[in-house]
Amino acid sequence: MLDYKQINSDDKKRKKLPDKIVEMAKFLFIGSFVASILFICIYGYNQFTHKFSILKNVYVNGNSVLSARYLASVGIGKFYKQLSSYKESKIYSNLISIPWIEKASVAKIYPDSIIINVVEKKPKAIIYLNKKAFILDRDGNIISDYSNNLRLPSRIERIYVNNKSFLSNKKLIKSVIGFYEKLDKIAKINYIEIVSDSYQIAYLENGLKVGINSFGCPSVALINFKRKLPYLLSVKNRLESVSICFSNKFVLKWKKGVKK
């Protein structure tokens, strides 16, 4: 049998339970209401700022040959228009149409910026034909015409041709570029002249003229050239040229009137 105090205590417990549920419901309602207001305010602010945001900044990454100013000009055009009026797909199309650009990506960052990331093609050589010059990649593909505005590497291979057909012979150009790179490690080259498919002349900085065949030059020829280079330099003033692409000899062409 329960006494009076025990019954009275149980009644109080029953009254407290509904009160907690009501308080919790009020808390959840107020929290949801405040969150809704914040969401509306933030969404409204974003919509307002997006509508009236003006492009002020363009950030360009990944460029070395082309200037950031040039890429922004071609890709975007005029600044200080509403940011929403610039379409990423259009900017991308403009960028990828530039011969130097291999890959590109574009992103708008509100309230006032666009970020451009590019991957440029790698220049390997300049080839000269008459009064024109072209930039080539490692595979002999023409990237673009030469321009003083291009920020090319300080040391880039230089090739001269006097026959237009050589310019379109990618296999030949690629072969010469590859041989240029190997020979330049032994003695620095000013430029290489393509005389024919089977004969080219490397004009070295030390004054030697070296006849080569980039297609059929055995690897041992470069080893022999490196070994004999001190001797060749000692007689360079008497030499017209030296042909090195043989496995066991050099062919020396002496200047006219010079005793061997």
Rg (CA), the chain: 37
pLDDT digits (tens, 9 = 90+) for 147-176: 999 999 999 999 999 999 999 999 999 999
Instruction: Find the mean pLDDT for residues 111-116.
Output: 94
Q: Is the pLDDT of residue 229 over 90?
A: yes
| Residues facing residue 223 across a β-bridge | none
* CA nearest neighbour of 251 among 224, 211, 191: 211
* pTM greater than the 0.85 cutoff: no
The pLDDT value given to residue 220: 95
3-state secondary structure 28-67: HHHHHHHHHHHHHHHHHHHHHHHHHCECCEEEEECCCCCC
| Residues facing residue 135 across a β-bridge | 126, 144
Tell me if 143 sits within 8 A of 136, measured CB to CB.
yes
Weakest mean pLDDT among 21-30, 96-105, 211-220: 21-30
pLDDT digits (tens, 9 = 90+) for 22-55: 666 666 666 665 666 665 555 545 544 555 689 9
DSSP 21: H
